[in-house]
Amino acid sequence: MKKAEETYRIIISGGGTGGHIYPAIAIAKAWNEKYPESEVLFVGAEGRMEMQKVPEAGYRIEGLKIAGIQRRLTLENLNFPFKLLGSLQKAKKLIKNFKPHLVVGVGGYASGPVLFMAQRKGLPTLIQEQNSYAGLTNKLLAKNANAICVAYPEMGRYFPASKIKYTGNPVRKDILDIADKRTKALAHFGLNPDQPVILSIGGSLGAKTLNQALLHSMEDFETKGYQVLWQTGKYYFEKVKGQVKDSGVKGIYPLEFIKHMDLAYAAADLVISRSGALSVSELSLVGKPVIFIPSPNVAEDHQTKNAMAYVSQNAALLLKDDKAIDQLGSMVHSLLGNQEKRDHLSQAIKTLAKPEAAKDIVKVMEELIQ
């Protein structure tokens, strides 16, 4: 390896959801901490959330006109070959001009064209697969990738075993140590320290079923003395806020988006969550009892597979999406009434955590450049 002060050029490609974007930013930050003179260029898909989130984190990003194929026949599908060809050409140009030492793909639409063109030029490439189920693009790219960093064991079902590095998913640093933040967290959200706190997180856009289940149960939660810190997502916020206000129920706090997730986790006695890769990885570090309600509207039902990796180790509970509205209230009440069960879940989920994931991925990147 060169000295830390020398310059490397790294391309990180992909995005589409927070589950791809936040690990990508965490990798970039971990690399820049060790090699501060390095240049990191992100490549995303135009119109997707990475085009906003990456610049907010202080990094430059280029956009490709690329989108996925719809599962039904649409005009967008007819445009797909042209968008793909244009994206491949732009990716080739970006690689030629930037001259990266290494290209990292984190999944999402932009990852495919960039890694494909980098591999054609013989550049070192690394895939970071967040989920317990590998998507088609990553499986195809894996054949010519130099390394594949995964968050779950037994990923040899999808990738060449010799290339797999079990690193875990990189997460935000601020959630690594929340033990001393509870008093501050309760004050920040205006919560009563003498009542249990339920945290519900359904992703930045929101989860319809989680919101419906909480609306269905909120009067019962008030009666039992529970408080609910509730990230509704931007699609549902106004409607949920109105229904909570009209109901007159107390102790229910809907928020469009929770910016200080470290404080939200610190305040929680119990977490209800979708089981996207980033959420699952964060919750293993947080070490709170969790009820996962996997989204059924994802490729290959990968959220259920993510959750089952933890449920099979008795480290979390699973509630199916189609049962959530009817059964969430009773499951929450049963768990909040059983301290021993909550303690067991907290301890078990922590054993599956990978707190040094970003640093471990950096080590793999170093090996590939070397």
SS3 219: helix
* Dist. CA 234–CA 121, nearest whole Å: 41
Q: Which residues are annotated as a binding site?
A: 17-19, 131, 172, 204, 258, 277-282, 303
Q: Taking a C-beta distance cutoff of 8 angstroms, is the pair 198, 288 a contact?
A: no
Give the tokens for residue 342: 């909550």
Distances (CA, A) of 70 to 41, 105, 112, 235: 29, 22, 17, 21
Please answer whether residues 49 and 21 qualify as being in contact, where contact means their C-beta atoms are separated by less than 8 angstroms.
Answer: yes
What is the C-alpha to C-alpha distance for residues 124 and 251, in angstroms, rounded to an integer?
53
CA distances from 262 to 60, 107, 139, 178, 225 (A): 26, 25, 34, 6, 24
- What are the two backbone dihedrals, phi and then psi, of residue 16, each rounded to the nearest 5 degrees? 105, -45
Nearest residue to 130 via CA among 110, 155, 113: 155
- Binding-site residues for UDP-N-acetyl-alpha-D-glucosamine, in ranges, read 17-19, 131, 172, 204, 258, 277-282, 303
Contact between 124 and 101 under an 8 Å Cβ cutoff? The reply is yes
CA angle 302/304/309 to nearest 5° reads 95
Cα–Cα dist 324/321, whole Å: 5
Q: Do you know the residue count of the chain?
A: 370
Q: How many Å is the maximal CA-CA distance in the chain?
A: 64
